[in-house]
Amino acid sequence: MRNVIAAAALGLGVAASAASAQNVGIATSNPGSLFHNIGTAVANAANEGGLNTTIQPATSPNQYLPFVNSGGIEFGVANLQEVNYGVTGDAWWNGVQNPNIRVVGMLMPLVEAIFVRADSDIGSLEDLVGHPITYGYTAQNTILPQYDAIFATAGLTADQFEHVSVPSVVGGADAFMAGEADAFIFAHGAGKVREADAAVGGLYALPVGSSDDAALEAAREHWPTASFKEFKAGSMPGVTEDATYIAFPQVVFTHADVPDDVVYQMAKAMYENAQVMADTFPPFNAFSPDEMKGDPGVAEFHPGALKFYDEVGLE
């Protein structure tokens, strides 16, 4: 039985006795978002591995990362750069540190694009200049620097576009579908992208302006963990030709005081049930269990996860 508290109106659940009952929660973003899909897949793998796991949606990691840090819920999913900023208090955290955050495991990269209607005359980031794009993202501080990173690959800046204020990526997709903006940003593979694709009769995912070393360096000025990922034509909604997009690592994270055996069991469940996660959310087909112990940046791995990785020989 889970005790539920208001927790700043996040609606997140708290385990009554995670260590003894093995009941745990995973904080995610809103339904339709990538991190909701990811959290659901991880929860299914954890349930297959013997943990009684539920997901608890909130608006974004901006809200639930501090909640995990305070011990309010056991796990969360986010991109690695945001976790690192949360630990150090850099960027939008304005010096507020979350020192209790620990990494459980690395996931497949998040691959992101700016989407337009397939029947528009916008075929590149340069063509988008002057058009209205979803912007603001007051509930998701990661999005504006990610926009900047994408724009930088084409030598562009955000002030070259008209801004339509939205609170979140889900809200941005809704504004696009309502005709309020000509473009929105979202992660490939998310349910909301498929919804938008069906709603407008097809999307086109704008590739990065350039995928050379100079473009990557420019992108990393805004998002340090950025990389490039090529998708084949037809592999995702909006990908109508072989094209390159911006990508960055994702992680499952936890609180330092979550018992070692619980984190061990979560890491083990993810490692052993990759197919369960892929069956739940197909982008997990790109997940490699042998890469779970990647470079976490300034964040630290939880000892329970390290114990498991030592047992299976991950370096």
Task: Place 3 in a pLDDT band, splitting at 50, 70 and 90.
Answer: very low
Q: What are the tens digits of pLDDT across the range 107-126?
A: 999 999 999 999 999 999 99
Q: What is the tally of structural domains in the chain?
A: 2
Q: What is the pTM of this model?
A: 0.86
Task: Place 22 in a pLDDT band, splitting at 50, 70 and 90.
Answer: confident
Q: What are the tens digits of pLDDT across the range 56-112?
A: 999 889 899 999 999 999 999 999 999 999 999 999 999 999 999 999 999 999 999
Domain limits at 153? 110-248
Same domain, 238 and 119: yes
Same domain, 94 and 21: yes
Same domain, 242 and 253: no
Same domain, 41 and 169: no
Concatenated DSSP letters of the chain: --EE--TTTT--EE-S-HHHH-EEEEEE--TTSHHHHHHHHHHHHHHHTT-EEEEEE-S-HHHHHHHHHTTSSSEEEEEHHHHHHHHHT-GGGTT---TTEEEEEE-PPEEEEEEEETTSS--SHHHHTTSEEEEE-TT-TTHHHHHHHHHHTTT--GGGSEEEEESSHHHHHHHHHTTS-SBEEEETT-HHHHHHHHHTT-EEEEPPS--SHHHHHHHHTT-TT-EEEEE-TTSSTT--SSEEEEEE-EEEEEETTS-HHHHHHHHHHHHH-HHHHHHHSGGGGG--GGGSS---TTSEE-HHHHHHHHHHT--
Same domain, 222 and 125: yes
What CATH code is carried by the domain that includes residue 114? Answer: 3.40.190.10
